[in-house]
Amino acid sequence: LALTTFKVFGSTFLTFADNMKPSIRSTAIMNLPVTYIFTHDSIRIGADGVTHQPIEQLAMLRTIPNLDVYRPCDYKELIGAWQLILKNKKPSALVIAKQPTESYKYTSIEETALGGYVISEVKSRLDVILIASGAEVTLAIQLKHELLKSFIEARIVSMPNINEFLKQSAEYQNQVLPKGYKRMVIEFSNDPTMYKLVKSDDDIINITKLLTEYEIDIPSIVIKIKNNI
């Protein structure tokens, strides 16, 4: 279908992207404008157990050359990602949540094209930068409010397309993620791409092994952030 004039897309759970890798990779090699839409993007909604909980799939998708991977956090970023997909006419993956997500005042259709940008700024001083994608942006905002109770101010950076962000100028990257300030990434995957934004394992809150329970509740994450600032 993609070799004709049809605009082609398909959709399934993110965890099943593994089954589709040969076709996704062929699409990327042939530079066909196919869009793969993946839902149920987090282990937090894996009611069917670990077989339906995506862990390594984001890493797999992001490392396929010539595949644009978008993980929007709300409807504005979703619109921004979809506009880019239609404009660029490239092989793309759109990774979205199953659960309802909030929309935030400073998320942006236009800035989604930059791959990553600030959506919540500090009031007086910058203590830590929290970087998140997709459904974890909502968690980052919740953590910001909790940290304020301890007089810790956090900038929130949404990262709907990390590979696109890393293509931006050094000046822009430094504007969003200034040097000399603590950074922490929140993403419930094991994607090593995120390590390009931080210095050590202690700076990333992710999923590195298959378990039935994780310390991913807000109090546990707040403690980890405090211990690393």
92-95 and 34-39: which strand pairing?
parallel
pLDDT confidence of 210, banded at 50, 70, 90? Answer: very low
Residue 76, both tokens? 């504005």
The pLDDT of residue 12 is above 60: yes
Calpha distance 224→218 (Å, rounded): 10
Place of tokens 């329970």: 213
Calpha distance 126→154 (Å, rounded): 6
> What is residue 217's predicted lDDT score, i.e. its pLDDT?
72
Nearest of 78, 119, 107, 80 to residue 95 by alpha carbon: 78
The pLDDT of residue 201 is above 60: yes
Nearest of 144, 148, 82, 155 to residue 119 by alpha carbon: 155
Calpha distance 131→197 (Å, rounded): 9
**What confidence tens digit (pLDDT) does each residue in 73-117 have?**
999 999 999 999 999 999 999 999 887 778 889 999 999 999 999
* H/E element, 50: none
73 close to 158: Cβ distance less than 8 angstroms: yes
> What is residue 218's predicted lDDT score, i.e. its pLDDT?
80
